[in-house]
Amino acid sequence: MAILPSISVSLDLDPQRHTAVLLRTPTISTPFGLHRISVKPQKIFGFKMDSREIEQTRMRLSTNFNSSSTLTTKASREPSGLTQELDSKLQAVPESESGCDLFKDMKHRFLSFKKNKYMEHIEHYEKLAQSQAPKFMVIACADSRVCPSAILGFQPGEAFTVRNVANLVPPFESGPSETNAALEFAVNSLEVENVLVIGHSCCGGIRALMSMEEEGDSSSFIRNWVVVGKNAKASTKAVASNLSFDQQCKHCEKESINRSLLNLLTYPWIEERVRKGILSIHGGYYDFVDCTFEKWTLDYEESNLKEANGGISVKDQLFWC
Amino acid sequence: MAGVSVSEVAIQGLKKLLSEKEDLDDVAAGAKIEKLTLELQGQKSHSSDPAVQAITDGFTDFKINHFEKYPDFYNELAEGQSPKFLVFACSDSRVSPTFILNFKPGEAFMVRNIANLVPPFNQIRYSGVGAAIEYAVSVLGVENILVIGHSRCGGIKRLMELPGDGSVHFDFVDDWVQIGLPAKSKVVAQGVPADQQLEALEKEAVNLSLVNLQTYPYVKEKISEKKLALRGGYYNFVNGSFELWELKTCISPPIIIE
């Protein structure tokens, strides 16, 4: 696991009372001079720590470990690893993706954000800190390649975002879940004007849905979740069973977006707003093989006419490439 | 030149191809033609909706300044993802980890929900979160799970207000945020002053989520194999700071009494 970074201390976890360690970065005067990244000593779980205490504790731990030969023998299940760690004192030997590297990297990234974006637009961020008023609610996949901030350039304050496996929206009847909790907040409290469900190419979740057998291993979480998309799978099989498996998956990726759009309408407070014209529902599809993006909007009136066969009517289709 | 335009010639050619070629895959051809139609429509229509125009501009910017600048990187990503992180962050529009921690495409499998909560293992009630953890840990093999809380969290505020005075009614939100009740009990029991309680709860909820992560068997397994680290984070956008910490479990060697 992660090697201890040089200025942190880990505490043995007391099963009764889980504690976390506050990592302190050294105080630095940054080019823009205003804020330190280090955190003032704070009371967290009853601990008050400052850096002197941390160093002392660390040295104590290190000494104790080395001097007690019994402990050395019994403690390490991996004999050389643990002793090596502490022997290296304040210098953690960086391996690729070691804890030390990760903390350093994250610190640089945050500082860069702070300098180039936060401080550059400080008034905007101060206003945002008071409240958010995003125009969009976005439901996207958790896939690492499809972050809506990256591909559609959403800035802080613009999009209330939910990300789950395969960007699925369960219907109202399925009961409470994290996705519809976010919907409720975004629509009823923040009063967003648009809901955008974004699917994407090569989706592992959709692939799992398409590969799933009817009677399968129900101890799998993935299975229990992607089954939300079973109607999309059924209609894909109905029209595209002659296509290759990859092509069927692609078809299902898009079909599932439309199913999610229809599922959105099963929420009374969403349907009401769509009917009144104060909320628009859109689907989007990001293809990261070709780098293209399609967008379409649910046509509410026309969709109602097709309700009998579960069809969906769309308008304002756009294709960007 | 009088007569037929370039596009009309092209359409004639296409019609001929479609009528003559018997082994042409009709479904695939139809999809391609539809795509072309949309593309041409897109080029001529400038969206009157500023919200849609914003995302059009956003995608164009991404394509030109990122995707097309680094084709090898994106082609490799299209083959498969191998993120090192599973990130849990709040749905709040102000706290996208991609933005504040500059995660590049491919780096972080990201779940976003209200108040960045991770419920304990429960296949019936919380299959959504479980699916993400299962996929990230067992299939993608992430090495780090990072749960990021933040200041002024509406979900945490709602948790603090529960059961509320009944004036505002949230079915789904209330059902979801009550996952954080153990954290709330702790903050209240510790006697944190009222004006500091929200921030304390925002951080305590992160720790509760880290603890809940350990109730998932594959997470526990990877931790014991030292292949997975659990970290908590807190983004304070009021004063522009970020905290980062790690949750470590250690079972000390037994004292043998004979």
Lowest mean pLDDT across A215-229, B24-38, B127-141: B24-38
**Number of Cβ pairs < 8 A linking chain A and chain B:** 302
Q: What is the ipTM of this complex?
A: 0.81
Q: Would you list the DSSP string of B84-107?
A: SEEEEEE--TT--HHHHS-PPTTT
Residue B34 has pLDDT above 80, yes or no: no
Nearest to B100 among A11, A113, A142 (CB): A113
Residue B225 has pLDDT above 50, yes or no: yes
Decide if A189 contacts A165 (C-beta within 8 A).
no
Residue A262 has pLDDT above 90, yes or no: yes
Residue A18 has pLDDT above 70, yes or no: no
CA distance A57 to chain B (A): 16
Residue A300: what pLDDT? 84
The domain limits of chain B are 82-247
Nearest to B38 among A109, A158, A294 (CB): A294
**Is B250 labeled as ligand-binding?**
no
CA distance B175 to chain A (A): 7
Q: Give A203-220 pLDDT, tens digit per residue.
A: 999 999 999 877 666 678
CB count, 10 Å around CB of B31? 14
Label residue A271 by pLDDT band (50, 70, 90).
very high
Those of residues 154-193 in A touching chain B at CB distance below 8 A are 154-165, 168, 176-186, 188-189, 193
% residues pLDDT > 90 (chain B): 58
Residue A319: what pLDDT? 86
Residue B180: what pLDDT? 95
Residue B9: what pLDDT? 78
Residue B142: what pLDDT? 95
What are the beta bridge partners of residue B232?
Answer: B147, B245
Residue B5: what pLDDT? 72
Give whichever of A54-63, A297-306, B184-193 has the largest mean pLDDT.
B184-193
Residue B158 has pLDDT above 50, yes or no: yes
Those of residues 45-84 in B touching chain A at CB distance below 8 A are 45, 47, 51-52, 54-63, 66-68, 74, 77-78, 81, 83-84
Residue A224: what pLDDT? 86
Those of residues 12-71 in A touching chain B at CB distance below 8 A are 12-13, 18, 20-23, 34-37, 39, 44-46, 71
Residue A53 has pLDDT above 80, yes or no: no
State which residue of chain B sits closest to A179, comparing Cα positions. Answer: B113
Residue B88 has pLDDT above 50, yes or no: yes
Residue A217: what pLDDT? 66
Q: Give B214-223 pLDDT, tens digit per residue.
A: 999 989 999 9
Mean pLDDT computed over A278-285: 94
CB count, 10 Å around CB of B200? 22
List of chain B residues whose C-beta atoms are within 8 Å of the C-beta of residue A316: 47, 52
Residue B250: what pLDDT? 76
Q: Closest Cα to residue A297, out of A273, A274, A272, A320?
A: A274
CA-to-CA separations, B105 to A104, B5, B94, in angstroms, rounded: 20, 43, 19
Lowest mean pLDDT across A9-13, A133-137, A140-144: A9-13
d(CA A207, CA A212): 8
Those of residues 127-186 in B touching chain A at CB distance below 8 A are 127-136, 139, 143-144, 151-152, 154-155, 170-173, 175-177
Sign of CA dihedral A312, A313, A319, B4: positive
**Is B169 labeled as ligand-binding?**
no
**Cβ separation B242–A193 shorter than 8 A:** no
Q: What is the mean pLDDT of chain B?
A: 87
Q: Closest Cα to residue A158, out of A190, A136, A138?
A: A136
Q: Closest Cα to residue B110, out of B73, B59, B138, B146?
A: B146
Q: Give A54-102 pLDDT, tens digit per residue.
A: 444 444 444 444 444 343 333 334 444 444 444 433 333 333 345 667 7
Residue A96: what pLDDT? 38
Residue A40 has pLDDT above 60, yes or no: no
CA distance A311 to chain B (A): 19
Q: Where are the alpha helices (DSSP H) in B63-165?
A: 71-79, 97-100, 127-134, 154-161
Residue B27: what pLDDT? 63
**Is B90 labeled as ligand-binding?**
yes
Label residue A106 by pLDDT band (50, 70, 90).
confident
Label residue B157 by pLDDT band (50, 70, 90).
very high
**Is B92 labeled as ligand-binding?**
yes
Label residue B143 by pLDDT band (50, 70, 90).
very high
What are the beta bridge partners of residue A282?
Answer: A196, A297
CATH architecture of B82-247: 3-Layer(aba) Sandwich (3.40)
B12 interfacial to chain A (CB closer than 8 Å): no
